[in-house]
């Protein structure tokens, strides 16, 4: 097996379009992996501090939107003395190609701050294997 690569800190990126927020708090972009298999597109988002009750996933007009809220009341009695990162809610959207996915069969799973969305491909989009004669 190849030796483990050293993990490096990824600076948290902020959401730039604050179109929906009415309060000045910062919103962060979840680090996201997207990959495709024969049957589905999988979207994996890292939202540390967000539990399954506080993750909202919507698909509307071919836009997949994910919002994750953290529970910052846990910090109420704590005074910061040394910090290396900031905390906040998460939000991110992706455009999907129209009519490509079965919106009613999207699967969502949340584990250890990682949200995994499985978007099954619509029948017509599944790649067809061409048999060789």
Partner 1 sequence: MALGFADPFDALFRFQRALDQRLDSDWLEDATSGVGAFPPINVFRQGNDFVAVIEMPGFSKDDLGLEVRGNAIRISGKKTIDYGGNASVHRRERVSGGFDRTITLPVQLDPDRVIAEYRDGVLALSLPRAASDKPKAIKIS
Residues contributing to the site for partner 1 (CB under 8 A): 4-10, 23-26, 31-38, 41-42, 44, 46-51, 72-73, 75-89, 112-114
Count Cβ atoms below 10 Å from residue 46 Cβ, excluding itself: 16
In which element (H, E) is residue 119 found? strand 114-120
Least distance from partner 1 to the Cβ atom of residue 34, Å: 4
Q: Which residues pair with 95 in a beta bridge?
A: 63
Least distance from partner 1 to the Cβ atom of residue 15, Å: 13
Least distance from partner 1 to the Cβ atom of residue 122, Å: 17
CB nearer to partner 1: give 16 or 84: 84
Give the CA count within 13 Å in the CB-facing half-sphere of 114: 8
CB nearer to partner 1: give 17 or 83: 83
The three-state secondary structure class of 47 is: coil
CB nearer to partner 1: give 7 or 132: 7
Least distance from partner 1 to the Cβ atom of residue 99, Å: 18
CB nearer to partner 1: give 18 or 133: 18
Residues 6+ apart with CB under 8 A from 44: 32, 33, 34, 114, 115, 116, 117
φ, ψ at 74 (rounded to 5°): -60, -25
């Amino acid at each position: 097996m190849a030796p483990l690569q050293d993990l490096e800190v990824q600076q948290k990126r902020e959401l730039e379009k604050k179109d929906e927020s009415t309060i000045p708090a910062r919103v962060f972009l979840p680090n996201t992996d997207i990959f495709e298999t024969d049957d589905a597109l999988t979207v994996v988002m890292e939202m540390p501090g967000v539990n399954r009750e506080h993750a909202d996933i919507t698909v509307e007009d071919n836009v997949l939107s994910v919002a994750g809220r953290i529970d910052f009341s846990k910090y109420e009695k704590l005074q910061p003395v040394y910090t290396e990162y900031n905390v906040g809610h998460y939000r991110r959207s992706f455009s999907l190609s129209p009519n490509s996915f079965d919106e009613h069969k999207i699967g969502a799973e949340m584990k250890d701050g990682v949200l995994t969305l499985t978007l099954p491909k619509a029948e017509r989009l599944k790649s067809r294997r061409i048999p060789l004669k």
